[in-house]
Structure 1
């Protein structure tokens, strides 16, 4: 897995967009006490369920791989604009 140049920035963007998507869809109501890792995992699983991103094999799912996959998703959103 090749790290992206601006992966941290893309993960923050994915967290922002994913949180708004989940709340608008009515799937979640995030609170301030929720950790970023919990939010990222929820967003990843929601996007997989809605077939917006490809799922990873369950043995490969980790915080690092989730962050990378969501960074790629956020980068693809920039390309669509």
Structure 2
């Protein structure tokens, strides 16, 4: 069974991914793991943040063969949804 078929899409997933990239970029810089350039693509940012969070054991890695960009985005959306305050607008049902 493909992981994509069992992953439930979050209501504001695209916005959560944008916020995860923003916060993840700050985390990456603060941690001293590098920083993004204006020319870096969103896909490159997603992969870098995902790999850093896995390396730091802040998220569980995806199964082998399931580590593609859409699944990484979903993992980042889940990660940031747990970091935001409960009353954050992106967490509204």
RMSD: 1.4
TM-score of the aligned structures, taking structure 2 as reference length: 0.82
Q: Which of residues 50, 54, 64 in structure 2 aligns to 1:58?
A: 64
Cα distance in 2 between the residues matched to 1:58 and 1:20: 28
Deviations 1:23-78 (Å, cap 9, x if unpaired)? 11110121000001001100000000000001111210111000000000010112
Q: Which runs of 5+ in 2 are unaligned?
A: 1-6, 88-93
TM-score of the aligned structures, taking structure 1 as reference length: 0.93
More helix by share: 1
Structure 1 residue ranges, 4+ long, deviating more than 3 angstroms after superposition: none
Q: Which runs of 5+ in 1 are unaligned?
A: none
